Chains A and B, each alone.
Chain A
């Protein structure tokens, strides 16, 4: 069990470019969450999956954002036509109904800077 892994850890991109982040959850965790966090704020919910099904999407997830979890294991978060307001840390987390208390575990995050 190596924890939740995110890649890349840092990404600098020009406005208008597309970026993709990957998240590998803790093995056998069936739930996977994406959050966004800006400086001085708590994480804001974006979306979550149970296995491969995307169960909920926040209004924060505009049409430029898409998340997938095709085989119920790793997930990708793609941002198309990036804007400066997309600069933030994107956090992935996972949990399992089988784990006591259904504790949520977070990765180290992926920092996005749009210039």
Chain B
């Protein structure tokens, strides 16, 4: 059974710093991994999706990497801004026709 873990549960950093959010999964035979952002009381916004054959994906100031062999993914945020404050969730999918399994998320607070 796939389990997804995100550490830390919460993180506060000063504005302008670069930061890394971590995601680990127990079964390395994943189909893809997706990172989401969730603002308080809102739904989830897809940020980046990495296929199992890929090592990383980039969108603007965001870069997500995937290392299947170690069961890890990271989300790198460059030059953080107060507007980046949110909960970031990663989710793993085991095969093309399967559901996605979430971690509990990392609550990020960027200090102005």
Which residue of A has the minimal Cβ distance to B43? Answer: A108
CA distance A111 to B40 in the complex (A): 12
Q: Is the CB of A104 within 8 A of B104?
A: no
- In A26-50, the 8 Å CB interface with B consists of 33, 35, 40-45, 48, 50
Q: Is the interface of B mostly helix, strand, loop or mixed?
A: strand
- The reply to whether B42 and A50 form a contact with Cβ atoms under 8 Å apart is no
Q: Answer whether A101 and B42 are a contact pair too, CB < 8 Å, given A33-B99, A42-B89, A42-B103.
A: no
Nearest CB on A from B26, distance (A): 15
Q: Of residues 19 to 69 in A, which have CB atoms within 8 Å of B's CB atoms?
A: 33, 35, 40-45, 48, 50, 55-56
Looking at the assembled complex, report how far the CB atom of B94 sits from the nearest CB atom of chain A, in whole angstroms: 12
Give the shortest distance, in Å, between B101 (CB) and chain A (any CB). 7
Pair A102/B103 contact, Cβ less than 8 Å: no
- Residue ID in chain A nearest B51 by CB atoms: A101
Interface size class of B (residues with CB under 8 A): 20 to 34
Q: In the complex, are the beta carbons of B32 and A102 less than 8 A apart?
A: yes
A40, A42, A109: the one contacting B42 at CB < 8 Å is A109
Number of chain A residues whose Cβ lies closer than 8 Å to a Cβ of chain B? 27
B107 nearest in chain A by CB position: A40
Q: How far is the CA of A43 from the CA of B42 in the complex (A)?
A: 12
Closest Cβ neighbor of A105 among chain B residues: B46
Tell yes or no: A1 within 8 A of B by CB: no
Contact of A109 among B4, B34, B43, B93 (CB under 8 A): B43
A101's contact among B32, B41, B89, by CB below 8 Å, is which? B32
* A103 in complex: contacting residue of B49, B101, B103, CB < 8 Å: B49
A91 within 8 A of B: yes
Task: Kindly state whether residue B86 has any CB partner on chain A within 8 Å.
Answer: no
User: Using a CB–CB distance below 8 Å, which chain A residues touch chain B?
Assistant: 4, 6, 33, 35, 40-45, 48, 50, 55-56, 91, 93, 97, 101-109, 111
Given contacts A101-B49, A105-B46, 11 further A-B contacts (CB under 8 A): A4-B43, A6-B43, A33-B99, A40-B104, A42-B4, A45-B101, A48-B99, A91-B44, A101-B32, A103-B49, A106-B44
- Please provide the 3 A-B residue pairs with the shortest distance between their CB atoms, ordered closest to farther: A42-B102, A106-B44, A108-B43
